Chain A
Amino acid sequence: MTTDLVIGMAGAGGDGVIAAGEALMTAAARSGYRAMMTKSYGPQIRGGESSFHLRIATGEIFNAGTMLDIAVALNWDDFLRFGAELPVGGRTTVVHDGAEGAALPLEGVSPADAVAAPIAEMARTSAGTEKAKNTVVLGLLAGWLGLSADSLLAGVRKRFARKSPEVLAGNERAFAAGLAFAQAHPLRTDRRLCETAPPPSPRWLVDGNEMCAAAALVAGCEFFGGYPITPSSEIMHFLGREIWRHGGTVLQAEDEIAGIGAVIGASFAGRKAMTATSGPGMSLKSEMLGLATIAEVPLVCVNVQRGGPSTGLPTKSEQSDLFQAAFSAHGDAVRPVLAPISVADTCRITIEAFNIAEQFQTPVILLSDADIAQRKEVIDPIDPRAFTIVDRRLPNERELEHYARFQITESGVSPISYPGLEGGNFLASGIEHNERGAPTASGEVHAQMNEKRIRKLAPLKARRDLFSIEGDRDAPIGLVSWGSVAGVASEATAVARREGIQMKLLVPRLLYPISEEVYEDFFASVRAGLVIEQSHQGQLFRIIRMFVDVPRGLESLARSGSNPITVHDVLDRVRQMVVAFQRQRVPQEEPTLG
């Protein structure tokens, strides 16, 4: 019996691999398990190979896991194309549709167990079509994992409800055939999942993009303007279905620039507005983001990061747009950059992004990444009433008497009107302007306005709720991680602490501006540590060092996208740090040459 299991499966287009993964995940979630699933596709537009990577566990999980416990290869060519996504190790149980005892095309590894299951043949004989292969696999896994056959079968029935009775009956027989095979061929390594208590209320099944879009609606988003781009488009798709019900509008613009342009227009007109894109789109939106900064127009700009530069790796996750988010503006423009760490966290951080945009009248960049955006998670229900929703500060009657849109106030935030509001008329502009909005080239005014626009964000740095710290408060080893990779760091921290290593982890959701105090407090006890992130340069590591004096032993653990950072990678480095501490205790005597 096991409490934590990683399953990977790959097949050709039409094999229904993704449908099988979703069915497994749903059944597991219904039975009370936690789960996280990522999907990968070949580069073909349609009909190419596809795969899923699914982690199911009895307790909470923070990342999708890596090495497979069970690998299902409907055919080896397709499976091997997903080498990085579906790593097979010596402890993997390999299920394949090949001849008994056939040599596996796996180099350098002999899996613990290889089961030749005649999947295609079972599908043909039971359902009369190889299309039912995925249903056979569901039967197999129901048997081997001990997942509720009823629950899985209910999913199969739901999926084929609209098909003919023959198709449904065929798939029911296919499931039964798979189940019977599994019962007749128990695995050498027991892969049955320990039972878990069903949750008090049904859990949720959702991916990061859907969560971002839904949270935007909770935050009060009334307008979305954007342009299709992988891996962010699902945000526009979701809002295209849902926002109308709440009186809002989606505009698919002619390009990335027009998308954010319309968002700036809608926000200027007093509506909460959002755009979403990925790296190349961010590059195009840069000038508009600068305009929103100087004209003090609230908006949320989501960047679902993928591998770059340029087209880069459109379907793979990376955290390499942090420099761009923080620094792509010309001029002295500081804008808040937030990053969620999971699907559930995407809810809170998206709402925070809107609140910060509205409160401080600034563009906010929400840095999601393809991993979070595209992976489905089983999460606990979220109570939206727990969130405060912030609206922009409108001018009152007294302020409208001699309205100065960009008045230099103590907080730096000036009341903001909108067209239609009598007395609030003003000129918004990308050109520097005085308090009343009149264009100016005065160095004095420019300096005051820069100071105002940057000062107004200062309260953000004191928002300790935009950071989480886990582990031992005074630990000598400190990790920092952000975005989807934070889940790996979190699990590594838990494992290391169980080993007795004194360690802690800081996870910022506010990536920029850098809160010096939060980092300085965290680093106070730290002698060695890691900043863990998915980019070649280690972008957060470098930005922290711009603003904070970090401990000498702080290092970067960073690598390019599509090269996952694992819990083991982190633990290896941490264990080395502990060894180095012991060596430092004793003066190392150098042998003297006689």
Chain B
Amino acid sequence: MQGITRLIAAFSAAALIAGPAAAQAPAEQKADEVPSPQQAERERAAAQPGNNAPVWKEVRSGQPNYTSIPGRETDVLIQPGARFPGQSHFSTAGEAWRQFRNGVVTFYGGWLVVLVLVAILAFYFAKGPVKLHEPPTGRLMLRFTDFERIVHWSTAISFCILAVSGLVMLFGKHLLLPLIGATLFAWLTMLGKNLHNFVAPFFIVSVVVMVIIWLRDNLPRAVDLQWLNPAKVWGFFAHSEHIPSGRFNGGEKIWFWAGVLGLSIVMAWSGLVLLFPNFDQTRAAMQDAWVWHASAAMLYICASLGHIYMGTIGVEGAYGNMRNGYTDETWAKEHHELWYLEHKGDRRVGGTGGAVPAGAPHMKENA
């Protein structure tokens, strides 16, 4: 995003400079008589020997110069200018990044998370969970295999660790530090940072496996378009009206493609740039990566709150499906009718003989 704004700014600056120059070119002499900046500075140095302005202009330019000190960017005196989304003017890159982090991300990001949380809770208290219409039959179907559940919970638990430690690093200074004091907070944040660094690769691997195993079932189907109809979605959430769907419904597919796949790619790419500072990437690259990382993280956390709500208290019986792997025929029929019809009586996918596997007691009582 910032790259684009920089590009646009560069183009507009070029247009500003080129505009008048192009207009003047025919009237004046040839273009090659316009002195180059270096030449102009040399002339000024001769005419005004005490004028140090060119030196200080150079200092502010952010260009690499000569230094005998080894290390990356040690030859830059002051970081070049940058402008992040929402900023009206260029400032030194570090300062621009600080304004973006401490202004845009903490303010809008913090509000977004709080508002989503409040909206979900308000909805829950106002409308309650999505309920089953008929009593469970007691006949179970296999909804998720052991491997699928291992992958899901690996991703879910590592995501929660990453999200909590990331939020602590962003907001802990304001929320937690005044409560628990600097020593304990610094220890916790240090722990959080190390967990963040070491859990992240595990999360990436889990997401890759998850995308591979669920890709086929998440391919969009015509029936899923109903999930783009606000009236239908409202009917589902508020009045428990069923929208027929295959193994995954339209909402789950949006979460899969936009969240699990899309946001994970942004998070993983930007996170890896930040995680391995030993590849000689510049500060500008890491600032850009951080901006993507934090912005995507805010969206990811908000979306995951929705997913966690739906998977636990928002939809009756949903948590048990992922916990135990089995679902009741009634639940399957009322939530994933097409999948139910496809696999009813299919012994390979799920037994329908009425036997309750030991691991799936959650559907027995009228849960």
A and B: partners?
Answer: no
